[in-house]
């Protein structure tokens, strides 16, 4: 079986939806429901599950609890998801204290920055000098970092992170970073997203058809 | 010709790269260079350009200036890209004063929030009460909004934005929103991205192959 990033992404989204359904008291769920929630077809949902040996009943129904157990097995239960934030400017600082992380057990355990005046042990997480970054990652066995440094510092900071053992980076610097095989980098380029929306709107206004 | 979102996204990225190259004094660029910058093949670059009637010379070279003119024609020049931020919590506030917008002429002209204690005319952009949102959008002919409200308020706030004439939404609320045909919604779910990275790492640690 070939597992793709997109497939893992969908499994991860199924897991999120199923956790919500469980908390709402749901016992069963249909592939149609999950398809609707993810904006994909029910048959793709069934195909994803079948790839991992999960089959529903005849009517396409699955037991929520059993599905979750299986997804935890595949994806990890993520009881303690400790991450760090590197670059504590506006976006970095906002993410250190990001409420939306909390309900899923993601915890920002430290921030790092080059600016000595923002080093602090107060606040939602301590902010350390960037010189302590590598040792901290090794000692605390951190796997994931959010990169929110300026564009000019992004590439070499990412190298430092990877060298220290980071396995996944969520990059907010407005530059496309590519990771080596032992580190997955997801680029979130907010400026490009806005540019892209303006381009799509301009294009649509010329009354030309765009497909999803 | 069928134009896809992905194609427009690539054109928008070519534009960004070309603007940089122009500022560096580049006169010519090859499809290989652009392919490298975007992490795609040179042949896809040539195919994209050919779709819009842009052809290079025999060796695959293009004039930077001529390409930019053509891309501005297709995508709009975006001289004045006025946007608003709805929901001025941590992420929203960080985006109101986001330095990376400035160099590309994107300007956040106002923020909106329900909390009366953060309404202000000071700072990088005024923050108004949410009750003024619809009139502001209509009066200023705003096309794009960043949505950074809590999850529970996301769906109905998006409806309000679309009703007032917003054509594109960059959604940071951790919920997947779907737009009607007259509004493009891009969902950026930071929590899900982190979850997804943990899932990918867990999966890789089990020593299973994942394809990009």
Interface test with A, best of B196, B208, B209 (most A CBs within 10 A): B196
> Hey, how many other C-beta atoms are within 10 angstroms of the C-beta on A193?
17
Return the ∠ at Cα B188 (arms to B109 and A115), rounded to 5°.
70
What residues in B contact A193, CB-CB < 8 Å?
Answer: 170, 186, 188
CATH no. of B5-74: 1.10.10.10
Give the three-state DSSP class for B112: strand
- How confident is the prediction along chain B (212 residues), in pLDDT tens digits per residue? 677 888 888 998 898 889 888 888 888 899 888 988 888 898 999 999 998 888 887 676 899 999 999 988 888 775 668 999 999 999 999 999 888 887 777 899 999 999 989 999 888 899 999 999 999 999 999 999 999 999 999 999 999 999 999 999 999 998 889 889 899 999 999 988 998 898 888 887 775 656 65
Q: Domain A81-192 carries which CATH code?
A: 3.40.50.720
Question: Do residues A181 and B90 touch, judged by C-beta distance below 8 A?
Answer: no
List b or e across A30-44, with b for residues whose CB sees 16 or more CB atoms inside 10 angstroms: bbbbbbebbeeeeee
CATH 3.40.50.720 residue ranges of chain B are 81-192
- Interface contact flag, A167 B4, Cβ < 8 Å: no
Q: How many helices (H) and strands (E) are present in chain A, helices listed first? A: 9, 10
User: Residue B40 class from Cβ within 10 Å (0-12 exposed, 13-18 middle, 19+ buried)?
Assistant: middle
Q: Where in chain A is the domain with CATH 1.10.10.10?
A: 5-74
Cβ–Cβ gap B2/A200 under 8 Å: no
Residues from chain B that touch A81, judged by Cβ atoms under 8 A, are: 194-195, 198
B101 and A198 within 8 Å at the Cβ level: the answer is no
- What predicted TM-score, i.e. pTM, was given to this entire model? 0.85
Contacts of A151 in chain B (CB under 8 A): 100
Q: Give the C-alpha separation, B19 to A209, whole Å.
A: 27
Model confidence pLDDT, tens digit, residues A162-208: 999 999 999 999 888 988 989 999 999 998 899 889 888 888 777 56
């Amino acid at each position: 079986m070939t597992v793709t990033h997109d497939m893992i992404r969908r499994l991860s989204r199924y897991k999120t939806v199923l956790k919500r359904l469980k908390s709402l008291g749901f016992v069963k769920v249909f592939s149609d429901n999950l398809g609707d929630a993810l904006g994909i077809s029910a048959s793709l949902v069934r195909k994803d599950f079948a790839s991992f040996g999960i089959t529903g009943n005849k009517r396409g129904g699955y037991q929520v609890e059993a599905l979750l157990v299986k997804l935890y097995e595949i994806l990890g239960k993520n009881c303690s998801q400790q991450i760090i934030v590197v670059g504590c400017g506006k976006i970095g600082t906002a993410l250190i204290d990001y409420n939306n992380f909390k309900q899923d057990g993601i915890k920002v355990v430290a921030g790092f920055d080059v600016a000595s005046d923002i080093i602090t042990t107060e606040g939602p997480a301590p902010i350390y000098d960037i010189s302590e970054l590598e040792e901290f990652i090794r000692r605390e066995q951190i796997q994931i970092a959010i990169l929110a440094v300026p564009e000019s510092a992004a590439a070499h900071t990412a190298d430092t992170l990877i060298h220290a053992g980071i396995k996944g980076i969520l990059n907010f610097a407005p530059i496309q970073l590519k990771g080596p095989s032992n580190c997955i980098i997801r680029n979130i380029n907010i400026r490009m997203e806005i540019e892209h929306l303006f381009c799509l709107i301009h294009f649509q206004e010329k009354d030309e058809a765009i497909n999803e």
